[in-house]
Structure 1
Amino acid sequence: MATSPTLTDRTQHALGETLSGRRHGIRSLLPLMGPAVVASVAYVDPGNYVANIQAGARYGYALLWVVVVANLIAMFFQAQAARLGIVTGRNLAELSRDRFSTPVTMAMWLLTEAAAMATDLAEFIGGAVGLSLLLHVGLLVGMSTMGVLTLLLLNMQKRGFRPLEIVIAGLVAAISISYLGELLIAPADWGAVLYHSVVPSIPDPAAITLCIGLVGATVMPHAIYLHSSLTQNRVVLHNDTERARMVRFSNREVVFALTIAGLVNMAMVVMAACFHGNHAEIDSLEGAYHTLTPLLGRAAALIFLISLLASGLSSSLVATMAGQVVMQGFVGFRIPIWIRRLVTMLPSFIVIALGANVTSALLWSQVVLSFVLPLPMITLLMISRDRRVMGRFRMNGRTLVMASIMVAFVSILNVTLLLQTAGLLPA
């Protein structure tokens, strides 16, 4: 007896009909939505919450321009990563292993794994903070619950890519709707918001660390690797015409998904700017929650917790998926998903057990991400420029120049922080 097609099977069939031109309108777009939405979770994770709250509480709207620039950089590199997977049918980690020597590949893998652990530290602890405050339980209980929930949801991968995509999309929608509600509650000077979104300023040398944290929290190394994997085998492409059509669809999805993520990040800063001045000391997740109730009401505080929990849960799922892609791509083997989840959770439990400051740990995890970020960015540019790999889809010279400026921007911020740490610049 024939088995009924799964949700993933039906999605792949719909994708084929869209690419062949037999499906039109909104019905043609829905099956294409997925990879960029999943990747966008990396841009609204708890690390973003910490960096954005600190930016708004300390400097008001002044660092909004960093969020805008970081989001534009993210759009570009996520689109290029998706393009790579569509055109080659392989992901960035696999292509890196083919291109570089074994020692270089191993070094890239270890650095990327370090970034993955830094990512998971922010996502896992941030979600656990939201859960512990929401349910009034201890942080370790919240972390353990988060771990169980993540493992249960990851098991959905056994049914194909579509069910988990829908769950993640639902969590992203919850985060977005939550911050729309926060903006309706929080008072904002929209003229100042617009001005600081487009006019760069760095109020003092200490803001450099926050700028790097904002970039690290927004442009995520593991999301670049994951996005190239999510698009590589989504549907069978028979010729360059279908590949070009899929790339166009992918670019639109990236713009849509990351515009939503960017607006959520800006909304976080705008909400945190309510703490600026008399409440400038509020720069932690717990502090933000406890201050929101008297400042904006219990509804605002509850919405904040719900969005934080959705953020931590969805980003933990995505980080674990990315870790599997990175390990299989660079070194060619996989481990059971539950073992990987336990290993990446371990640093978070150690940080809490040692009594470390949660907010500082989360912010510095984002700085670590920013230092690792140039690695996948430069690798992606090198491979995307190679005609032997990309054929007629290779990156042109003008686009390469623009991308190089983006890499330089991230690298200059990193070097500035190193000089500050060495005492060669004021900190």
Structure 2
Amino acid sequence: MESLTYAGQHNDTLAAPQPRRRLLARLWPFLGPAFVASIAYIDPGNIATAVQAGARFGTMLLWVVVASNLAAMLIQALAAKVGIATGYSLAELSREHFPLPVVWLMWLVSELAAMATDLAEFIGAAIGFQLLFGLPLLWGGVLTAVVTWLIISLERRGFRHLEAVISALLAVVALCYVAELVFGRPDWAEVGFHMVVPQLAGTESLLLAAGILGATVMPHAIFLHSALTQHRIVGHTDAERRTIYRFELVDIAIALGIAGLVNAAMLIMASTAFYRHGLHDVATIEGAYQSLTPLFGSAASLIFGVALLVSGLSSSAVGTLAGQTIMQGFLHWEVPLWLRRLITMAPAMLVIALGVDPTNALVLSQVALSFALPFALIPLIWFTSQRRVMGSLRNQRVTTVLASVVTLVIILLNVVLIVQEFIA
């Protein structure tokens, strides 16, 4: 029996049962990739959408958060499976199988998507510095650049260190929203009802639902997740690769489950803080921060600001890593991480320096991401449905059909949002 290779070293075989090993000990080496990818689901863009939806419609759209999270789990599972089954990231696999002009187009669109992602996350962190410390947005941007560079530089000490820090930051955001729920004291019976019963109330609620679902799956998270699993633990047989994939599914369930609960908590917080008090027009992050103090005290605003800052810093760092993966995969260009950090932060710093309204910048970045989604989702489904590419880890027919339906819905909703944005 060949052994699994983990981070360049031999690990214990997983093909035979090991009853004496505790489950957590067996699972531990596999935890991490999904936690890094899950940061994309709690970034400042998610906070802004949740605030608007909760303030306008209370907990009515919680079912959309649940549906979005389930869709995200499916898509990220396919992304992780690409790396496990092939040893390639999605970008590298595209380079190997598609004509060069298509590869260059995919790289260009994906590169712009990575920059658009970092624009939203970078500005969100800068706003966090501004709200918490009263710093000008430009200086908040400078601090964001420094801190995110320190985070991603941990990769030099081994990716496990970076995973640990990202996971800790995810935990901080989660704890912040648990605290916010304590302040808000939601009606849990109402929360449970709206998590499982789909409801809408007119065109505006439909558009907000589209915003929650349509912006859930981020292109950079798909590319990054496939890269995080490609060399982490290497299976030499089909049986070993299937075992690795089963463990990775647990990683995804835990990490994205936490991210989904955080997103639900964001919306519940906005509902209890704003909707319950008749503040239905709170639509910006700054407005939410300023409104919390008179409602629940300065501690609530402080916790909200900390959650915003931490989510912005962690998601911006992850966005830089994703950009690195995209460039290396499509073009086989390796650039230092510090240069990659400069490339992805340049548009955000330009937006801040020009005094562009941060909320408008966030909206435009989401439009750019909408255009990029098909360039990640369609190749992902195509590759994972091919036996010659995936071997025994090829999708079951029902998985391909379900993923195709989810992809079609996400793309259509993003088209709706784009059209609505330009009409408005």
Q: In structure 1, what is the equivalent of residue 301 of structure 2?
A: 301
Instruction: Give 1:15 deviation, angstroms.
Output: 5.1
1:264-343 aligned at under 5 Å gives the runs 264-273=262-271, 274-276=273-275, 278-343=278-343
Q: In structure 2, what is the equivalent of residue 4 of structure 1?
A: none
Which of 219, 222, 235 lines up with 1:221 in the alignment? Answer: 219
CA distance in 1, matches of 2:285, 2:183: 18
- Is residue 49–residue 208 contact of structure 2 (8 Å, CA) maintained in 1? yes
Range that drifts further, 368-377 or 155-164: 368-377
1:46 matched to 2:44:
yes
Q: In structure 1, what is the equivalent of residue 203 of structure 2?
A: 205
Instruction: Give 1:166 deviation, angstroms.
Output: 0.7
1:108 matched to 2:112:
no
Instruction: Give 1:86 deviation, angstroms.
Output: 0.7
- Is residue 6–residue 231 contact of structure 2 (8 Å, CA) maintained in 1? no
SS of structure 1 residue aligned to 2:203: coil
Cα RMSD after superposing both structures: 2.1
Range that drifts further, 311-320 or 408-417: 408-417
Q: In structure 2, what is the equivalent of residue 151 of structure 1?
A: 149
Q: In structure 2, what is the equivalent of residue 183 of structure 1?
A: 181
Distance 1:364 1:234, change over 3 A: same
SS of structure 1 residue aligned to 2:378: helix
- Is residue 115–residue 372 contact of structure 1 (8 Å, CA) maintained in 2? yes
CA distance in 2, matches of 1:15, 1:295: 54
1:29 matched to 2:27:
yes
CA distance in 1, matches of 2:420, 2:365: 18
CA distance in 1, matches of 2:155, 2:419: 44
TM-score by length of 1: 0.92
CA distance in 2, matches of 1:110, 1:188: 45
SS of structure 1 residue aligned to 2:245: helix
- Is residue 208–residue 417 contact of structure 1 (8 Å, CA) maintained in 2? no
Give the unaligned 5+ runs of structure 1. 1-8
Distance 1:215 1:115, change over 3 A: farther
Q: In structure 2, what is the equivalent of residue 395 of structure 1?
A: 395
Q: In structure 2, what is the equivalent of residue 141 of structure 1?
A: 139
SS of structure 2 residue aligned to 1:231: helix
Which of 115, 121, 124 lines up with 2:122 in the alignment? Answer: 124
CA distance in 2, matches of 1:200, 1:62: 8
Distance 1:338 1:208, change over 3 A: farther
Amino acid at match of 2:70: L
Q: In structure 2, what is the equivalent of residue 241 of structure 1?
A: 239
CA distance in 1, matches of 2:361, 2:269: 22
Give the unaligned 5+ runs of structure 2. none
Instruction: Give 1:19 deviation, angstroms.
Output: 6.4
Amino acid at match of 1:168: I
Q: In structure 2, what is the equivalent of residue 195 of structure 1?
A: 193
Distance 1:53 1:344, change over 3 A: same
Instruction: Give 1:415 deviation, angstroms.
Output: 3.4
SS of structure 1 residue aligned to 2:230: coil
Distance 1:68 1:363, change over 3 A: farther
Instruction: Give 1:367 deviation, angstroms.
Output: 3.7
Instruction: Give 1:109 deviation, angstroms.
Output: 1.0
CA distance in 2, matches of 1:126, 1:347: 14
CA distance in 2, matches of 1:227, 1:15: 22
Amino acid at match of 2:131: L
CA distance in 1, matches of 2:370, 2:64: 13
CA distance in 2, matches of 1:100, 1:55: 40
TM-score by length of 2: 0.92
How many matched pairs? 416
CA distance in 1, matches of 2:352, 2:386: 45
- Is residue 7–residue 232 contact of structure 2 (8 Å, CA) maintained in 1? no
CA distance in 1, matches of 2:360, 2:284: 9
CA distance in 2, matches of 1:348, 1:166: 27
